[in-house]
Amino acid sequence: MLNPSTAENDAGYRAAMGQLLVLYTQVDQLIMEVCAERISTAPDTAAKLALAKQVGDESKHVSIQLDWMETFGVENHPLITDSQQDAIRAHFRSLPWLEFLVDLYVCVEALGSEAVEKIVPLADPGTRESLRIPLNDELDHVAFGMSRLKLELASLSEVERRAFMARIPDRVEALTRKFENLDLNAPALFTAVGVDYQKLCAQLELRECELFDELAA
Ligand SMILES: [Fe+2]
Ligand SMILES: [Fe+2]
């Protein structure tokens, strides 16, 4: 018989991991839609092709996660409500190309997948396997976003470039606040699967600094 405290911990872990899987899948689907919408107005063919490839990747991630969630026994009730999803789509739709690159790739793709990476070593084998292909593809997406951002920044005047760089931390901060205001209970979910949330926040700040330095180099 299972030790009651272990069974309880296990039930808490499974419930929280299930919710995190729902959240990750919803975010991937939103990214898929946001990227698909951006294809027609992207500045050149290289960008259109990268966005189209990403739409395919995110579609694959959503389908891998949906399959795994069914096996894992997750009740797939959306955490991000319909109106919140509309607001997220509207946010990305409203952004000029450079701001789009910062918000989607620096913030959502790079920092978001960094947070998911921290879950991997703590996850059960099935969940870990379900994240393997998606997280590997996210590296590609971040690489595209960062290289494209560097390319665009190089075409600005020194004054414009400095001004744009100076606004990046505020953009990340504002988007982080928006995410927190979605009230998704993320700190409790991360904690319940064994992530030290304070440490995670510190690691994300460090990663943000690295990304900033990479863009400034
Ligand atoms: Fe993804
Ligand atoms: Fe991605």
Asked if 80 and 182 count as a contact pair (C-beta separation under 8 A), the reply is yes
The alpha carbon of residue 95 and the mean position of all alpha carbons in its chain are separated, in whole angstroms, by 18
Find the domain containing 184 and state its range. 4-216
pLDDT for residue 166: 95
How far is Cα 110 from Cα 168, in angstroms, rounded to an integer?
Answer: 14
Question: Residue 56: which CATH number?
Answer: 1.20.1260.10
Lowest mean pLDDT segment, chosen from 9-13, 64-68, 164-168: 9-13
Ligand number nearest to the C-alpha of 134: 1
Please tell me the distance between residue 113's alpha carbon and the centre of ligand 2 in angstroms.
8
- Cα of 53 to ligand 2 centre, how many Å? 10
Checking if the pLDDT of 5 tops 60, the result is no
User: Per residue in 54-102, pLDDT tens?
Assistant: 999 999 999 999 999 999 999 889 999 999 999 999 999 999 999 999 9
Structural domain count, the chain: 1
Share of the chain residues as helix, strand and coil, in percent rounded to the nearest 5: 85, 0, 15
Q: How far is the CA of 24 from the centre of ligand 2 (A)?
A: 10
Give the separation between CA 167 and CA 71, rounded to whole angstroms. Answer: 44
Q: Tell me the pTM.
A: 0.93
Separation of CA 108 and ligand 2 centre (Å): 8
Q: Which two structure tokens, joined as six digits, stand for 31?
A: 């990214």
- Residue 91, number of CB atoms within 10 A of its CB: 14
- Among all chains, which residue has been given the structure tokens 């700040």? 205
